[in-house]
Structure 1
Amino acid sequence: MSNVHTETQTDRMPDAEDRNELCARMQHALRDLRAGKIVVVTDDDDRENEGDFIALSDRITPDTVNLIITEGRGLLCQAITPERAREMQLEPMVSRNTALHSTAFTVSVDAIKGCTTGISSSDRAITIRTLADPESAPEELSRPGHIFPLVAAPGGLSERRGHTEAAVALAQLCGALPSSVLCEILDEDGTMARGSRLSAIADRLGMPEISIQDIIEYEAALANEPEVVETARAMVPTRFGRFQMRVYADAAGREREPFVLIPESFIAELESRTGAATTAPSKRAATEKQPAPLVRVHSECLTGECLSSLRCECGPQLDEAMRRVQQEGGLVVYLRQEGRGIGLTDKIRAYALQDAGLDTYEANTALGLPPDDRSYAVAAEILQEIGLTELRLLTNNPDKIHGLEQGGITVTERVSLIMETTPENHAYIRTKQEKFGQLMEENMEDKNDYSGN
């Protein structure tokens, strides 16, 4: 875990061609991290050129821990922010740090609940998730233990070009909890793997390889341009009327081609509200004569929308949203977050577990995946780019309200999206109410037609 600080490379910015390659490389790594996979992160080329395995703490599984410690052979640590260290009351391992690169170890920890000896891959995964979970309390960790927290420098990579800071930066770029696990990569002979040997290991394991310099340049590139940019627009005739479809590119690689559907009849009013016809959008608030537009933030569901699956109510929800915004004035933001963010393959794997008796929450966790891995940051940024910062939100999901408000959007009213349930999706909808905190106006025992996507 080299933490050598250098000054010289931070000033170098890539040209356009190099920048495109950098963005592609980084976005590949970020996609893999969000999917719970591991990436290889190297030091600066003109320094030790050592490498670490890095994976997101909030997506860690026993299998991932086992792969890291088996293939890496180094010390398994967990990078956290200074704020998290204070919240969990983690003191420095020693009162006087004389480590070569001042690596900020705290006391080691184990999770108390769910752990046995603390050393197994399963126990370590539980500890890692517990330490990363913002709902965890200090008394949920025993000290000492088998996970070694490392505290990132307050200034991140601009202050210290170490793997600890890189691990936290990657988690933040992914929109995940600001913590990652990391482990030095040793060669088979016990020496540090470097250069071509690191690349060979990454290739053999099918892992992306990036450098700390890549992360720094990527963060700088994002800081110098809008995070979401409109790339195309055209009118699309639908069963619910004509809609203008605007497609966006996400510079951070969090979303693949999100888009917006705006009823043709609402375009002029939207431009009037946001000042889109001027060079500087006014983003003026709604008035009594102009109630806030109705907005639906909808996550992709191929099975429900294209195959008319009865397991969920996503298809009817999208239809109803398009009908409502056409009728009342508003728009639909469509995010490519298949399977609540876990992707189509894992969604179908979760379906198989549901067929065996698990509910949707249990199936995701059994696969080592978050029950809901969606983020609404991109939706908020798209709405900001459009200039629509005050709206009524068509949803039963409080997470969407919170996510948009974190992105600077004011939700003046939550409008329920009530759909008829079926025998096939009744248990699914009940799980969303009971385990995902969906807001239901009536008890499902009394009215069997509430949903909550």
Structure 2
Amino acid sequence: MIDKAVKALKDGDIVLIFDFDDREGETDFAVRADAVTPEIIARMRNDAGGLICTAIEGRIAEKLGLPFAGDALSGTNLVEKIGDIPYDSANHSSFSLFLNHRDTFTGITDNDRTLTANKLAEHVKKAANGGSPTFAEEFRTPGHMATLRANERLLDQRRGQTELSIALANIAGITPCITICEMLDDKSGRALTKEDAKKYAEEHNLIFIEGSEIVEYWNRTKNN
């Protein structure tokens, strides 16, 4: 399944990534940010229903000046502490800043969020090659696209949807900037079950992959 997921991600298709039964137990839509379209954003809103975020490789987020939200808000009394997150007590949240591209209007429309995602991917690609000095000139915060900063050790340290999607991007050899959205269940008020996420994937001819498959491949090939 890893080969099919890699191909789908390369092709700009939506891939469904389930993390782990003993973690969030959630499935996310994942698509390369440079392939995001207004139709994909609308599908994320309507079919997934969670928070639309864009994950960025950690070292590149650092180059772009995107801090962890907890670090940026360290002067307040609201910042999470180690142990606050029930499904991952050893790590902090991957949230960074909420951004809009400066050419957006409100930033929330499907067109606006598409522009923000596409431009984020453009700058991540530039930064990966040593460039992107204009990042702060092109983006503003607060905004409507949540950015996520992957742990720099990726799956060797943290195994959240942020790291799974960026690890899959690295395996695919594409720009490590992936737009993701959790799949929620209208009836239960909870995350969509793994079984229902698999059913959705089958009905819509999409690839469903479990985090364990990505981790297994990562561990087997990371030193090659």
Structure 2 distance, partners of 1:53, 1:70, is: 12
CA displacement 1:188-243 (0-9 Å, x = unmatched): 32321112112112222221111111111112333477xxxxxxxxxxxxxxxxxx
Q: Secondary structure at the match of 2:16?
A: strand
Please report the TM-score for the alignment, with normalisation by the length of structure 1.
0.42
Structure 2 residue 203 is matched with structure 1 residue 204? yes
Structure 1 distance, partners of 2:93, 2:35, is: 24
Please report the TM-score for the alignment, with normalisation by the length of structure 2.
0.82
Structure 2 residue 59 is matched with structure 1 residue 83? yes
Q: Secondary structure at the match of 1:145?
A: strand
Q: Give identity over the alignment, percent.
A: 31
Q: Secondary structure at the match of 1:148?
A: strand
Structure 2 residue 96 is matched with structure 1 residue 106? yes
- Which residue matches 1:74? 50
- Which residue matches 2:155? 157
Structure 2 distance, partners of 1:191, 1:205, is: 22
Structure 1 residues 90, 224: closer, same or farther in 2, change over 3 A?
closer
Q: Which amino acid aligns with 2:157?
A: E
- Which residue matches 2:129? none
Structure 1 residues 80, 47: closer, same or farther in 2, change over 3 A?
closer
- Which residue matches 1:180? 178
* Greater relative contact order, per chain length (Cα 8 Å cut-off, separation 6+): 2
- Which residue matches 1:218? 217
Structure 2 residues without counterparts, runs of 5 or longer: 127-131
Structure 1 residues without counterparts, runs of 5 or longer: 1-24, 226-453
- Which residue matches 2:39? 63
Deviation at 1:82, TM superposition (A): 2.3
- Which residue matches 2:121? 132
- Which residue matches 1:147? 145
CA displacement 1:282-310 (0-9 Å, x = unmatched): xxxxxxxxxxxxxxxxxxxxxxxxxxxxx
Deviation at 1:53, TM superposition (A): 0.9
Compare CA radii of gyration and give the structure with the larger one. Answer: 1
Q: Secondary structure at the match of 2:96?
A: coil
Structure 2 distance, partners of 1:84, 1:222, is: 22
Structure 2 distance, partners of 1:48, 1:141, is: 30
- Which residue matches 2:168? 170
- Which residue matches 2:14? 38
* Aligned ranges 1:22-421 → 2 under 5 Å: 25-93=1-69, 94-95=73-74, 96-98=79-81, 100=85, 101=88, 102-113=92-103, 115-133=104-122, 134=126, 135=132, 137-189=135-187, 190-223=189-222
Structure 1 distance, partners of 2:135, 2:23, is: 39
Structure 2 distance, partners of 1:48, 1:155, is: 20
Q: Which amino acid aligns with 1:33?
A: L
Q: Secondary structure at the match of 1:108?
A: strand
Q: Which amino acid aligns with 1:89?
A: G
Structure 1 residues 110, 47: closer, same or farther in 2, change over 3 A?
closer
| Larger CA deviation: 148-157 vs 44-53 | 44-53
Structure 1 residues 151, 223: closer, same or farther in 2, change over 3 A?
closer
Contact 1:37/1:64 (CA < 8 Å) preserved in 2? no
Structure 1 distance, partners of 2:172, 2:63, is: 22
